[in-house]
Amino acid sequence: MSRNGYVPPYTISDKTVNLISGITEIITEITINDNMNSNPRLRRDNRVKTIHASLAIENNSLSLNQVTNIINGKRILGAPAEICEVKNAFEAYEKLLLLNPFLQDDMLSTHKVLMKELTKDAGIFRSAGVGIYTGKELVHMAPPAERVPILMGELMDWVKRAEVHPLVKSSVFHYEFEFIHPFADGNGRMGRMWQTLLLYQWKPLFGWLPIETLIQERQDEYYKALGECDRAADSGKFIEFILQAMYDILTETAGTEQGTEQGSEQVEKLLVVLGSEELTTKELMARVGLKHRPTFRNNYLLPALELGIVEMTLPDKPNSSKQKYRVVF
């Protein structure tokens, strides 16, 4: 079902080349420290973050705490479909790293796990046309359903044989997968998951790296990059976007590992800026001089919350826009 020599159109920019170099350098540094492989709790925490972020991109409203509780076997109050999404995603990710990224049957079986009880088409390619809308505006019309098996066969064949850097290859695959939109539902989750699997084959670190957390924060940019590539018939801009997200999360991961010994100093700084006030995340970030939310959460806020010396003003609504934090006296 594949055309000999089929190559998806993509451009390698100077920015892409620089990002590849930077990502490779940081991976080497993290691998030498080997904290990810020697820390099962860190791997599990990152897996939970990945699942929460990937589902949040698809409008699942459950908080990170709720997702954590579901995965830990605890009961929560929430929409049954959203709880099912979490359970399915956890099961799929638990099996993911044992799969062959070049086998279409493995992809279909993963979709079946990911979407069971959520759609009648779990585990099979779509049988009808589909359009992607923003509000009432059609932003992407996917190829006809009868073309999906052929297009996916070509794409899987290309990703298997192409002599392209894995960072580029996996990003091109991610874009082309979303363009084809092979399933009736769950395409975003599957595309991000399969890129993780492709990268894991190159560097095992990617099996535990929560890239989705940054994609979630940059959803508008994510969809904008997809749209620009559709219009240009070239996935170059999407490659840049994804590699930038990888670079940023790797930089954060490396910084967190190096900053472990500085944890008490960062928590102390947070206590100083909080004083006797109740402040939002945005206000706290401004006072400690940070603009990157994940870095602030991981290095300042979460350690303070875990130590029980800072608390939420709305503990029952952790994701509330009115959430503030205060020192526990």
Query: CATH top-level class for 261-327?
Result: mainly alpha
- pTM (2 d.p.): 0.76
Q: What is the pLDDT of residue 67?
A: 94
190: which 2 tokens? 């599957």
Q: What is the pLDDT of residue 46?
A: 86
**What whole-number distance in Å separates Cα of residue 254 and Cα of residue 220?**
26
Q: How far is C-alpha 187 from the chain's CA centre?
A: 13
35-74 tens-digit pLDDT: 555 556 677 888 999 999 999 999 999 999 999 999 989 9
**What whole-number distance in Å separates Cα of residue 310 and Cα of residue 326?**
6
Residue type, 162: A
The bridge status of strand 325-327 relative to strand 137-141 is unpaired
| Every domain range in the chain assigned CATH 1.10.3290.10 | 14-258
Give the number of other Cβ atoms within 10 Å of residue 102's Cβ: 15
67-105 tens-digit pLDDT: 999 998 999 999 999 999 999 999 999 999 999 999 999
Q: What is the pLDDT of residue 1?
A: 40
Give the number of other Cβ atoms within 10 Å of residue 161's Cβ: 12
| Every domain range in the chain assigned CATH 1.10.10 | 261-327
Q: What is the pLDDT of residue 114?
A: 97
115: which 2 tokens? 């979407």
89: which 2 tokens? 């995603």
Phi, psi angles (nearest 5°) of residue 182: -70, -20
Q: What is the pLDDT of residue 295?
A: 84
What fold, for 14-258? Fic-like fold (1.10.3290)
Buried b (16+ CB within 10 A) or exposed e, 18-52: ebbebbeebbeebeeeebbeeeeebeebbbbbbbb
Q: What is the pLDDT of residue 173?
A: 97
Per run of 10 residues, the mean pLDDT along the chain (length 329 residues) is: 70 96 90 60 84 94 93 92 97 94 96 96 94 76 93 96 95 96 95 95 89 89 91 96 93 62 72 91 91 85 84 87 87
Q: What is the pLDDT of residue 34?
A: 57
Scanning 34-103, the segments in alpha helix (DSSP H) are 40-57, 64-71, 80-96
Percent of the chain predicted with pLDDT > 90: 62
Q: What is the pLDDT of residue 260?
A: 44
Query: For the chain, how long is the longest CA-to-CA vector?
Result: 69
Residues in the chain: 329
146: which 2 tokens? 């009868």
pLDDT, averaged across the chain = 89
